[in-house]
Amino acid sequence: MPPTPVSVLGLGVMGRALAAALLAAGHPVAVWNRTPGRAAGLDGVRVAPTVPDAVRSAPVVVTCLLDDDAVTSALDGAGPDLAGRVLVDLTTTTPDQARARAAWAAGHGAAHLDGGIMAVPPMIGSPDALVLYGGPAPAFEDARDALSAFGRPVLLGDDPGTAPLHDVALLSAMYGLLGGALQAFGLVRSAGGTATGLLPLLRPWLDAMLSTLDGTAALVDDGPDGTAAVSPLAMQSAAFGTLRTTYAGQGVRDDLLVPVQRLLAEAVAAGHGDRDVDALVDLLAPDAAVPAGR
C-alpha cells in the first residue's frame, strides 16, 4: 500500500514537526496555515490555499492548532468537505471538547480521532513520541500508517474524550515531578549548590520513588490491604513542617510544596493518619466511581 496522503492544518511548532515526519515517511502532504509563509522549509508539501482545498486533498486530515476554538474557526464552513474522511485532532482539548468535535464530524459524515501528543516537537517521528488516541477502531486502522509517522500511536478506546483525559493525567504527573525537582533545585541553589550537582542524588532517589508507584496504584484501586503503612500520613504531615521551615530558613519560596502539605493535613484531620498516600486520592476524587475491586 502506498503511503496515505495526509493534510495538516496548522503549521505552528508542532504542526511543522508533524508535517515533516509525514514527509520523511513518504506521505504526500498538503498543508494549510492561517498565516501564510509558515510552510517554508517543508520541502515537498503542497500549500493549500484554503481549508476546504486542504481537506479535500487527503483521506486523513490532521488538525494541530492552538486550541479548540482555533479548530472551530479553521474548520468553519469546511464540514461538508470532510465527508468520508478521518479527522485527527491533535490539538490539546478537554474530553468534552473532543466529544463535541466527534459529534460535529459525524454530522458531516466524517470519522474523528482525538489525539494527545505526549512528546515535544523534536521527538516527533521517533519511537519515543507517544501519541494517545480516542475514537473508533476502524478509523484508527485506516489512519494507522499515517499516525505511525508521528511516533508510537496507542488507541485507548472508542470514546474520543479518553485521549485528552489521559493526556491531562500524564501531564499532571509530569508537572508534579518537575515541580518537585524545581523546588529541590531552588533549595540547593540557596546553599550555593547547583542543579547539575544535585542530579547524581536526585535521579536515583526519583527512580526509587517511582518504583513504589505499583504498590500505590494497587492501594488506590483496591483500598487498604490490611498492611500497616510504612510512611503513614500522620508522620508525613508532621515532617512537612520541617520541609517548610527549611525553605523559610533558606529564604526560598515553597509554593510548589504547599498544596501537598494542605492535603496531607486534611487527610490526617479526616482520620486517615494511619494510611499511606493512596488516601489522598480519596480526597481528590471523593465522588468518582469506585474502581472494581473495592
* 168 is a site residue for ligand FVH (CB under 6 A): no
- Binding window for ligand FVH (CB under 6 A); candidates: 60-68, 79-87, 221-229, 244-252: 60-68
Say how many Å lie between the first and final Cα of the chain, rounded.
48
CA atoms 264, 270, 271, 277: torsion sign = negative
- Closest to 187 measured CA to CA, from 241, 242, 246, 245: 246
Q: Report in angstroms the alpha-carbon separations of 137 from 8, 39, 98, 160.
A: 21, 32, 16, 11
* 12 is a site residue for ligand FVH (CB under 6 A): yes
The percent helix, strand, coil of the chain (3-state, each to 5) is: 50, 15, 35
- Binding window for ligand FVH (CB under 6 A); candidates: 7-15, 172-180, 249-257, 274-282: 7-15
* 65 is a site residue for ligand FVH (CB under 6 A): yes
Q: Which three three-digit cell numbers place residue 266? A: 486534611
In whole angstroms, how large is the CA radius of gyration of the chain?
23
Interface with ligand FVH (CB under 6 A), residue from 5, 28, 46, 70:
70
* 121 is a site residue for ligand FVH (CB under 6 A): yes
User: Total binding residues for ligand FVH by CB under 6 A?
Assistant: 22
Q: By rule CB under 6 A, what string of x and - marks binding of each residue 179-218 to ligand FVH?
A: ----------------------------------------
* 120 is a site residue for ligand FVH (CB under 6 A): yes
How far apart CA 209 and CA 206 sit, in angstroms, is: 5
Closest CB to ligand FVH among residues 50, 212: 50
Site for ligand FVH, rule CB under 6 A: 10-15, 33-35, 38, 64-67, 70, 73-74, 91-92, 117, 120-121
